Amino acid sequence: MNIPFSINEIPYLSTDQMIEVDRVMIEDFQIELIQMMENAGRNLAHLARVRFLDGDPRHKSVVILAGTGGNGGGALVCARRLANWGASVNIILTKASDKFTPIPSHQLDILRRMDMPFSEAQALHDIKFSNQDLIIDGIIGYSLKGAPRGTAADMIRWANAQGTPILALDAPSGIDTTTGTVFTPSIKASATMTLALPKAGLVSDEVGNRIGELYLADISVPPQLYAQPALDIEVGPIFATSDIIRLR
């Protein structure tokens, strides 16, 4: 993918602004979270296919690391699509399925009906993966509050130790999306696909070696939404030629 825009040519959002985007999408524009999640996961699967799986997921092995919130839900959509395209997909959850928030839980139920394999993070070091081609980081999104702890931290350390390319959704887990603070532990991604608009924390020089290549994906936010008084941001048709654009 070429780099049609510099990150400095596109507006970026703080975490609070992204929370407001999500709120307005749902409450004012009636674009539901499940629609945004489907868009995010579809684009993540497509980027995984073309950038890391040689354009053909068949006979490739992908490990999905999924948290309980929206970030994990997007990763689960990605898991479904890659499995549909012929990949061998293993899903590791930060917590038991009954701890998932409602929309990600719905995605999990779809995968359960597909008889896809799940494991919880506690069993991570007992699971034997062979020749994995890609790890998808959907552990923690912009809801991060301080350094990752518990099973989330264990999953991050495990992923970094594999020597396998890591594709992070929205931001590498362990990075504050507003300040750019890099917590310990944090994912060291080969590439990051952020959503809607870049997060302010991803512009920081400090995170450059954590995010890898930086891509921006469309989740169908109307430009009129950004222009509303609470945000007052001018955004043009930045996805006119592609649902995913490379920023760095």
Confidence at residue 220, expressed as pLDDT on a 0 to 100 scale = 94
* 81 CB neighbour count, 10 Å cutoff: 21
Do the beta carbons of residue 35 and residue 220 sit within 8 Å? yes
Tokens coding 17: 């602004």
Strands (E), 100-218: 118-120, 134-138, 166-169, 191-195, 213-217
> Considering its fold, how many domains does the chain have in total?
1
Could you list the residue range(s) of the whole structural domain that residue 179 is in?
31-214
| 164, part of any domain | yes
Strand 213-217 to 244-246 pairing: antiparallel
| 158, part of any domain | yes
Tokens coding 89: 């997909």
Tokens coding 80: 């479904």
Tokens coding 131: 């020749």
- Full pLDDT tens readout for the chain, 248 residues: 666 666 668 999 988 899 999 999 999 999 999 999 999 999 999 999 999 999 999 999 999 999 999 999 999 999 999 999 999 999 999 999 889 999 999 999 999 999 998 888 777 776 667 689 999 999 998 888 889 999 999 999 999 999 999 999 999 999 999 899 999 999 999 999 999 999 999 988 789 899 999 999 999 999 999 999 989 999 999 999 999 999 99
Question: How far is the C-alpha of 205 from the C-alpha of 214, rounded, in Å?
Answer: 13
Tokens 């890591």 label which residue?
Answer: 166
Confidence at residue 127, expressed as pLDDT on a 0 to 100 scale = 67
Query: 139 to each of 12, 69, 87, 120, 243, how far by Cα in Å?
Result: 22, 8, 20, 12, 23
| 166, part of any domain | yes
| 208, part of any domain | yes
| 9, part of any domain | no
In this structure, what CATH number is given to the domain that contains residue 138? 3.40.50.10260
Decide: helix, strand or coil at residue 93. Answer: strand
| 240, part of any domain | no
Backbone angles phi, psi at 175, to 5 degrees: -115, 130
* 126 CB neighbour count, 10 Å cutoff: 7
Confidence at residue 9, expressed as pLDDT on a 0 to 100 scale = 80
Decide: helix, strand or coil at residue 173. Answer: coil
| 125, part of any domain | yes
| 127, part of any domain | yes
Which H/E stretch holds residue 244?
A: strand 244-246
